[in-house]
Chain A
Amino acid sequence: MTAATAGFWAVAVVLLASSLAVVLTPNLFHSVLFLAVALVATGVVFLFLHAPFLFGVQLLLYAGGVVVLVVFAIMLTERIVGLRIRQSSHDLVNGVIVSVAVFVGIVGFLVQSGPAPAAPATPPPGGDQTVALARAILGPYAVPFELLGVLLVIALLGALYFARED
């Protein structure tokens, strides 16, 4: 087992453990903190896949933006940390059955599709794919990318409109 493989599995264990903590911990605030850990671990998985730009985006948008937003929402709806944000989980058995069924379905599809083709052993030129990604964003995908910016502005204006004081 090479160092990269061992590192990947270490990160995968952290990712899976914090994901489980997100859905199982009774305190909603702790749930959000574990979500931040899971998102950062996902970003590290992106690093293993030679996508450092996505690692940065993941940290800035997800671990930075989303977690702060959710923390604010919890503070606005439950006010006092640790007091009223106990949350219950219902239908644990049904949830386990459906989740395991979905997982088995996906893995069954993987097994059926046979061995995976080997990834290119050499890292992309320059060590990552950021240059190619930038060419795609500024070239053939410029219009969708700009539309993405418009969508973000609309979403933020909509959120402001919904949550305004009136």
Chain B
Amino acid sequence: MPGLHSYLVVAALVFAIGLFGVLTRRNAVGILLGIELMLNAVNINLVAFARLHGDPIGLLFALFTIAITVAEVAVGLAIVIVIFRVRRTIDADRLDLLRG
């Protein structure tokens, strides 16, 4: 079995890739996909530590993260659809109504 550090490094890489997506994507759905990758990386960490300590509570936290992410995606995509209906675009750079 590969060591704990292997899992942590892979998770860190996925997290960095997701962060890169969030920073560089301009489409709102693309930004949401980057956030998905970041949350996914955190889940890998949680499960790896749960395995290391032989403690199922880490798995429980990962389970909670997954369910809450699904809720977040459902609400986020509904907001994206409403924004598209109102503004006819989901380009994050052009959604600047609240900019002073």
Contacts and interface: CB of A to CB of B under 8 A. Distances in A.
Contacts of B63: 54, 57, 133, 137
B29 A15 contact: no
B68 A148 contact: yes
A98 B56 CA distance: 34
B71 to A, nearest CB: 3
A12 B75 contact: no
Interface of A: 2, 4-5, 8-9, 12, 15-16, 19-20, 22-23, 28, 31-32, 35, 38-39, 42, 45-46, 48-51, 53-54, 57-58, 61-62, 65-66, 69-70, 72-74, 76-77, 85, 87-92, 94-96, 98-100, 102-103, 106-107, 110, 116-121, 124, 129, 132-133, 135-137, 141, 144, 148, 151-152, 154-156, 158-160, 162-163
Contacts of A2: 1
B26 to A, nearest CB: 6
Contact of A23 (B6, B10, B20): B20
A159 B29 contact: no
A141 B77 CA distance: 30
A101 B10 CA distance: 16
A102 to B, nearest CB: 5
21 contacts: A23-B18, A23-B25, A28-B29, A31-B33, A49-B47, A62-B66, A70-B33, A70-B77, A103-B15, A107-B9, A110-B12, A117-B52, A119-B1, A119-B4, A129-B51, A129-B59, A148-B68, A155-B74, A155-B75, A156-B71, A162-B81
Interface in B10-28: 10, 12-21, 23-27
B16 A89 contact: no
A48 B10 CA distance: 13
A53 B6 CA distance: 22
Which 8 A/B pairs are nearest by Cβ-Cβ distance? Answer: A23-B21, A155-B71, A162-B78, A132-B56, A159-B78, A103-B16, A116-B4, A95-B23
